[in-house]
Structure 1
Amino acid sequence: MRTQVAIIGAGPAGLLLSQMLGLEGIESVLIERQSPEYVRSRIRAGILEASTVELLKQVGVGERLAAESMEHRGIYLQWPGERHHLDFVKLAGRSVSVYGQTEVTKDLMLARERAGQQTYYEATDVELHDVGGDSPYVTFVDASGQPQRLDADAIAGCDGFHGPSRKAMPEAEQRTWEKEYPFAWLGVLADVAPSTDELIYAWHPDGFAMHSMRSSHVSRFYLQVRPDEDINAWSDDRIWAALTTRLGAGQHGWKLETGVVTEKSVLPMRSFVTTPMRHGRLFLAGDAAHIVPPTGAKGLNLAVADVALLARALTTWLRDGSEKLAETYSDTALRRVWRCTHFSWWMTTMLHRHGDDFDAQLQLSQLQRTIASEAASTELAENYAGLPIGY
Structure 2
Amino acid sequence: MTTSKTQVAIIGGGPSGLMLSQLLHLKGIETVVLERQTRDYVLGRIRAGVLEHGFVELMREARCGERMDREGEIHEGFSISDRGTMHRIDLEGLTGGQTVMVYGQTELTRDLYDAREKMGGIVIHEAEDVQPHDMTTDAPYVTYTKAGETHRIDCDFIIGADGFHGVSRKSIPADQIREYEKVYPFGWLGILSETKPAHDELIYARSDRGFALCSLRSQVLSRYYVQVPLTDTVENWSDDRFWDELKARLPEDVAARLETGPSIEKSIAPLRSFVAEPMRYGNMFLAGDAAHIVPPTGAKGLNSAASDIYYLYHAMLSHYENGDDSGLDAYSDTALRRVWKAQRFSWWMTSMLHVFPDHPEFDQKLQSIELDYFLSSEAARTSLAENYVGLPF
* TM-score (norm: length of structure 1): 0.97
Matched residue, 2:93: 90
Matched residue, 2:126: 122
Choose which of 165, 170, 185 in structure 2 pairs with 1:167: 170
Matched residue, 1:108: 112
Q: Once the two structures are superposed, what CA deviation does each residue of 1:14-48 show, in whole Å capped at 9, x if it has no partner?
A: 00000110111100001010001111111110000
Q: What are the ranges of 5 or more consecutive residues in structure 1 without an aligned counterpart?
A: none
Choose which of 376, 380, 387 in structure 1 pairs with 2:384: 380
Percent of aligned pairs sharing the same letter: 52
Q: Once the two structures are superposed, what CA deviation does each residue of 1:84-140 show, in whole Å capped at 9, x if it has no partner?
A: 000000001311111000001000001111111222100111111000111100011
For 1:58 and 1:154, the matched residues in 2 are separated by: 23
For 1:118 and 1:90, the matched residues in 2 are separated by: 43
Matched residue, 2:54: 51
For 2:233 and 2:281, the matched residues in 1 are separated by: 41
Matched residue, 1:345: 347
* 1:290 is the counterpart of 2:317: no
C-alpha displacement at 1:368, in angstroms? 1.4
For 1:197 and 1:186, the matched residues in 2 are separated by: 22
Choose which of 316, 331, 334 in structure 1 pairs with 2:333: 331
Name the CA shift for 1:191/1:357 in 2 (closer, same or farther; >3 Å): farther
Matched residue, 1:240: 243
Matched residue, 1:153: 156
C-alpha displacement at 1:254, in angstroms? 5.3
C-alpha displacement at 1:210, in angstroms? 0.6
One-letter amino acid of the structure 1 residue matched with residue 374 of structure 2? T
Q: What does 1:258-337 correspond to in 2, within 5 Å?
A: 258-337=260-339
Counterpart secondary structure, 2:366: helix
Paired residues of 1:249 and 1:256 also in contact (CA < 8 A): no
Q: Once the two structures are superposed, what CA deviation does each residue of 1:38-72 show, in whole Å capped at 9, x if it has no partner?
A: 11111110000111111111220000000000111
For 1:81 and 1:25, the matched residues in 2 are separated by: 54
For 2:219 and 2:168, the matched residues in 1 are separated by: 38
For 1:197 and 1:369, the matched residues in 2 are separated by: 26
Q: Once the two structures are superposed, what CA deviation does each residue of 1:160-213 show, in whole Å capped at 9, x if it has no partner?
A: 111111012232121110000000000111111012011000111111001000
Paired residues of 2:8 and 2:31 also in contact (CA < 8 A): yes
Structure 1, 168-177 or 376-385: larger mean CA deviation:
168-177
One-letter amino acid of the structure 2 residue matched with residue 166 of structure 1? R
Paired residues of 1:26 and 1:319 also in contact (CA < 8 A): no
Paired residues of 2:84 and 2:207 also in contact (CA < 8 A): no
For 2:262 and 2:360, the matched residues in 1 are separated by: 35
Counterpart secondary structure, 2:374: helix
Matched residue, 2:32: 29
* 1:176 is the counterpart of 2:172: no
Structure 1, 309-318 or 263-272: larger mean CA deviation:
309-318
* TM-score (norm: length of structure 2): 0.96
Counterpart secondary structure, 2:183: strand
Q: Once the two structures are superposed, what CA deviation does each residue of 1:281-306 show, in whole Å capped at 9, x if it has no partner?
A: 10010000100000000000110110
Choose which of 1, 4, 7 in structure 2 pairs with 1:4: 7
Counterpart secondary structure, 1:225: strand
For 1:115 and 1:228, the matched residues in 2 are separated by: 46
For 1:219 and 1:384, the matched residues in 2 are separated by: 21
Counterpart secondary structure, 1:135: coil
For 1:188 and 1:203, the matched residues in 2 are separated by: 18
One-letter amino acid of the structure 2 residue matched with residue 54 of structure 1? E
* 1:186 is the counterpart of 2:226: no
Structure 1, 46-55 or 5-14: larger mean CA deviation:
46-55
Q: What are the ranges of 5 or more consecutive residues in structure 2 without an aligned counterpart?
A: none
Q: Where does structure 1 differ by over 4 angstroms across 4 or more consecutive aligned residues? A: none
Paired residues of 1:176 and 1:275 also in contact (CA < 8 A): yes
Matched residue, 1:360: 364
For 2:120 and 2:20, the matched residues in 1 are separated by: 15
Counterpart secondary structure, 1:319: helix
One-letter amino acid of the structure 2 residue matched with residue 351 of structure 1? L
Paired residues of 2:86 and 2:251 also in contact (CA < 8 A): no
Counterpart secondary structure, 1:178: strand
C-alpha displacement at 1:320, in angstroms? 2.3
C-alpha displacement at 1:362, in angstroms? 2.0
Choose which of 51, 73, 78 in structure 2 pairs with 1:75: 78
Paired residues of 1:184 and 1:268 also in contact (CA < 8 A): yes
